[in-house]
């Protein structure tokens, strides 16, 4: 039997740091409030000429280097993003061209903050097919361009970054064991950008200034996320016939420290079994899980043979988890 696993992983965040103190000069907020409510201290912001595809390229180069493969070895690029370079064509296609992956197909998926969880499942299924050898799964976001910098309830939360993984066939007993994903479209308006699509174009006489930016019902997200995180972890473990006590590390979506604490409490697991880096980067949406996974590996927090669960929740509403043996 042959499995599918991550053989290379990498991440990238822009060098420019925006602190909570910097935000105090932009909107009516405070470092104390942001830290207490979210755990975020700073985040990374892209320069004006840097796009989501650029962040994706930087992360992908690191993942391919670790996997010891060249761009032309990539058969497929799956890019999870909710902040694409342009409405069309795909940011994955733009990334493919910048990387020089001349033999790859490329497409985007949008499950907002749960995007990489979904992309990893899609990539796993394709990699198991004998027609594919190397698949690049990327989560990349530039939320600094889509948040409203006058909205203090949302602009303090987000940052930019990307994470990428190369999938290959691996020996049985290692790699991705399974995935559990779910959606609830009745909550689509909880996290949204109301204008800019065909429902309400920017040129429509129904367009209201501000609707081109990210909007979120914070209370509804909290109520959803504190249940979605443990639900996804429990269900993916059930699907792969593993017990919660076997888990070595949980890599959660880096949205809010208090949400993660509440989720771990509901799972009855100690915080030492999770990895947190949101204090440095804020919420990088669909990029947060691969960035955190990459850093946990590089810091030695995840070792060969560990049972790792990646879990995320976000707009759509969408949520889910992957279970893997590292």
Joined together, the tokens standing for residue 314 give: 């976000």
- In the sheet that 135-142 helps form, which strands lie side by side, from edge to edge? 2-12, 160-171, 135-142, 76-80, 105-109
- Going by the DSSP 8-state scheme, the letter that residue 14 receives in this structure is -
- How far is the CA of 26 from the CAs of 33, 141, 143, 151, in angstroms? 15, 22, 17, 10
- Closest by CA position to 136, among listed 247, 282, 6, 296: 6
**Buried/exposed 41-61: b ≥16 CB within 10 Å, e otherwise:** bbbbbbeeebbbbbbbbbbbb
The angle formed by the CA atoms of residues 157, 318 and 121, to the nearest 5 degrees, is: 110
Longest dimension (CA), the chain: 59
Is residue 173 classed exposed, middle or buried when 0-12, 13-18 and 19+ CB atoms within 10 A define those classes? exposed
Q: Residue 137: in which H helix or E strand, if any? A: strand 135-142
Q: Which of 51, 101, 113, 155 is catalytic?
A: 113
Q: Active site includes 118?
A: no
Q: Which of 155, 253, 256, 277 is catalytic?
A: 253
Residue 246, number of CB atoms within 10 A of its CB: 10
CA torsion, ordered 323, 40, 301, 55, to nearest 10 deg: 70
Q: Which of 20, 256, 283, 322 is catalytic?
A: 283
Q: Active site includes 258?
A: no
Instruction: Give rounded-to-5 percent helix, strand, coil for the chain.
Output: 35, 25, 35
Spatial distance between the Cα atoms of 216 and 294, rounded to a whole number of angstroms: 28
Q: Are strands 135-142 and 249-252 parallel, antiparallel or unpaired?
A: unpaired
- Closest by CA position to 282, among listed 19, 42, 99, 33: 42
Q: Active site includes 51?
A: no
Query: What is the set of active-site residues?
Result: 113, 253, 283
């Amino acid at each position: 039997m042959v499995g599918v696993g991550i053989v290379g992983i990498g991440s990238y965040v822009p060098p420019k740091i925006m602190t909570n103190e910097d935000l105090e000069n932009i909107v009516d907020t405070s470092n104390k409030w942001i830290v207490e409510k979210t755990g975020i201290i700073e985040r990374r912001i892209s320069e004006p000429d840097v796009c989501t595809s650029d962040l994706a390229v930087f992360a992908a180069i690191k993942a391919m280097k670790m996997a010891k493969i060249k761009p032309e070895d990539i058969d497929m690029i799956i890019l999870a993003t909710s902040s694409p370079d342009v409405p069309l064509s795909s940011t994955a296609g733009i990334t493919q061209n910048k990387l020089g992956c001349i033999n790859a197909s490329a497409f985007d998926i949008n499950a907002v903050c749960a995007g990489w969880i979904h992309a990893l499942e899609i990539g796993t299924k394709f990699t198991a097919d004998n027609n594919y050898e190397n698949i690049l799964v990327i989560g990349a976001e530039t939320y600094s361009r889509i948040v409203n910098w006058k909205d203090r309830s949302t602009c303090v939360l987000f940052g930019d970054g990307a994470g990428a993984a190369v999938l290959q066939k691996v020996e049985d007993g290692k790699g991705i064991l399974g995935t559990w994903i779910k959606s609830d479209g009745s909550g689509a308006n909880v996290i949204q950008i109301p204008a800019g699509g065909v429902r309400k174009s920017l040129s429509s006489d129904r367009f209201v200034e501000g609707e081109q930016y990210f909007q979120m019902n914070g209370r509804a997200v909290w109520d959803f996320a504190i249940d979605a995180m443990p639900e996804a972890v429990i269900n993916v473990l059930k699907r792969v016939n593993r017990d919660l006590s076997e888990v070595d590390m949980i890599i959660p979506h880096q949205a809010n420290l208090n949400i993660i604490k509440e989720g771990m409490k509901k799972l009855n697991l100690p915080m030492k079994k999770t990895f947190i880096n949101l204090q440095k980067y804020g919420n990088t949406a669909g990029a947060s899980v691969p960035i955190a996974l990459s850093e946990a590996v590089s810091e030695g927090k995840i070792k060969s043979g560990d049972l790792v669960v990646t879990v995320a929740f976000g707009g759509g509403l969408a949520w889910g988890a992957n279970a893997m043996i590292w």
